[in-house]
């Protein structure tokens, strides 16, 4: 993996992600209600909560997939609320979706080349004309793709169309695609869902390596063993609100968190 890019010295740049009073409502359902969250550069934060607690909606609002009703998002000090997803991605914000998503008709290698090409800065007309400068950028990206494929163990499948991969392999391809851009901030939505223990172990190793290189990671996950192993800090959402935020060991014993997952004594009596 490449060395971490130089970090900005300003204090705002030390905060990788700053969410202030973010709210999102779907018709009558308050999916996220006034959530504040601040993630420092280089942190690895677990975002947990029962199903329907607003975790994915929050991530969608951060990455521009959805527009928040209220509140604001700052990424590396820039106010990104209202930006389209592609513009946020150009800030080197990587995202992996809950349901694995790859470009099915492209080969494994082309998936990786596509993942970085719009961040390389060559103009559209140069691409249309297939100019040598553009081909040089593609060659550079191929080198990086080789590195990423080796990391996830898919180097023997580079010429295979993505649709022909198994589900676990697609997860690994999605992860490798996200690594291609060498993102400063990586948002992972249930990366371990529906894959076997070997792939879980592999992905957990990759996340640790990525984080050890100085990157910021926010991970949504229902696999509690994985989340407690990986994340020193946990944030818990319930019914769209933040109910806990702190060191993993403290959150594990938090009464509100236990109630959210297992129900309150009052719920049990009724």
Partner 1 sequence: MSATILRLWWIGAVAAVLLALPAIVRVGAPGMSNYLLNNYGIGSLVWVAFALSYDLSVGHAGTVTLAHPAFFGIGAYTAAVLSTGTHAPFLAAVVVAVVLAGAAALVVGALFFRLSDVFFAIGTLGVAFMANIVAVNWQSVTKGALCITQIPHPQGAADLTGRYYLILAIAAVTALVYVALTRGRVGRALAAVRGDEGLAQTFGANPFVYKMLAFVTGAMLAALVGVFQAHHISVVCPDTLGTFYTLNLLIIVFLGGVGTMRGVVLGAVLFTIIPELARFAQVLAQLVYGVVLLVVVLYAPDGVEGVLQRALHRRRGPVSIWGRETAGDPAEPKT
128 binds partner 1 (CB under 8 A): yes
Instruction: Kindly tell me which of 37 and 181 has the beta carbon lying closer to partner 1.
Output: 181
Query: What's CA 137's distance to the chain center, in Å?
Result: 25
Q: Which of 44, 181, 186, 204 binds partner 1 (CB under 8 A)?
A: 181
Nearest residue to 179 via CA among 140, 202, 210, 216: 210
For the CB of residue 74, give the shortest distance to partner 1 in the complex, in Å: 19
Instruction: Kindly tell me which of 166 and 209 has the beta carbon lying closer to partner 1.
Output: 166
Q: Which of 10, 12, 166, 209 binds partner 1 (CB under 8 A)?
A: 166
Instruction: Kindly tell me which of 9 and 125 has the beta carbon lying closer to partner 1.
Output: 125
Q: Which of 4, 13, 85, 193 binds partner 1 (CB under 8 A)?
A: 85
For the CB of residue 98, give the shortest distance to partner 1 in the complex, in Å: 12
81 binds partner 1 (CB under 8 A): no
Q: Which of 38, 161, 222, 239 binds partner 1 (CB under 8 A)?
A: 161
Nearest residue to 65 via CA among 187, 216, 176, 162: 187
205 binds partner 1 (CB under 8 A): no
Instruction: Kindly tell me which of 84 and 246 has the beta carbon lying closer to partner 1.
Output: 84
118 binds partner 1 (CB under 8 A): yes
123 binds partner 1 (CB under 8 A): no
138 binds partner 1 (CB under 8 A): yes
Residues 6+ apart with CB under 8 A from 162: 102, 103, 104, 105, 106, 107, 108, 111, 170, 173
Q: Which x/- pattern, by CB under 8 A, does the window 31-70 give for partner 1?
A: --------------------------------xxx-----
Q: Which of 160, 208, 241, 254 binds partner 1 (CB under 8 A)?
A: 160
**Binding residues for partner 1, how many (CB under 8 A)?**
47
3-state secondary structure the chain: CCCCCCCCCCHHHHEEEEEEEEEEEECCEEEEEEEEEEEECCCEEEEECCCCCCHHHHHHHHHCCCCCCEEEEEECCEECCCCCHHHHHCCCEEEECCCCCCCCCCEHHHHHHHHHHCCCCCCHHHHHCCCHHHHHHHHHHHHHHHHHHHHHCCHHHCCCEHHHCCHHHHHHHHHHHHHHCCCCEEEEECCCCCCCHHHHHHHHHHHHHHHHCCCEEEEECCCHHHHHHHCCEEEEEECCEEEEEEEHHHHHHCHHHHHHHHCCHHHHHC
Instruction: Kindly tell me which of 150 and 164 has the beta carbon lying closer to partner 1.
Output: 164
193 binds partner 1 (CB under 8 A): no
Contacting residues toward partner 1, per CB under 8 A: 63-65, 84-86, 89-90, 94-95, 97, 101-106, 110, 113-119, 122, 124, 127-130, 134-135, 138, 160-161, 163-164, 166-169, 177, 181, 195-196, 199
């Amino acid at each position: 993996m490449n060395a971490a890019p130089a970090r900005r010295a300003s204090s705002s740049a030390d905060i990788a992600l700053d969410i202030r009073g973010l709210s999102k409502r779907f018709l009558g359902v308050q999916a996220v209600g006034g959530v504040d969250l601040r993630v420092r550069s280089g942190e690895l934060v677990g975002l947990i909560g029962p199903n329907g607690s607003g975790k994915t909606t929050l991530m969608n609002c951060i990455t521009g997939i959805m527009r928040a009703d209220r509140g604001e998002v700052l990424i590396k000090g820039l106010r990104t609320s209202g930006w389209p997803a592609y513009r946020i991605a150009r800030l080197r914000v990587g995202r992996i979706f809950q349901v694995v998503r790859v470009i099915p008709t492209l080969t494994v290698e082309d998936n990786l080349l596509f993942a970085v090409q719009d961040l390389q800065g060559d103009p559209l007309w140069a691409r249309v004309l297939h100019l040598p400068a553009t081909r040089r950028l593609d060659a550079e990206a191929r080198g990086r793709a080789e590195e990423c494929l080796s990391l996830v163990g898919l180097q023997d499948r580079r010429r295979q169309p993505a649709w022909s991969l198994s589900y676990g392999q697609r997860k690994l391809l999605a992860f490798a695609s996200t690594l291609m851009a060498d993102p400063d901030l990586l948002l992972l939505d249930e990366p371990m869902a529906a894959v076997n223990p070997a792939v879980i172990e592999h992905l957990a190793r990759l996340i640790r390596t990525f984080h050890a290189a100085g990157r910021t990671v926010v991970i949504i996950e229902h696999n509690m063993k994985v989340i407690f192993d990986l994340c020193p800090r946990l944030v818990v959402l319930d019914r769209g609100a933040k109910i806990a935020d702190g060191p993993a060991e403290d959150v594990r014993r938090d009464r509100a968190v236990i109630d959210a997952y297992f129900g309150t004594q009052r719920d049990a009596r009724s």
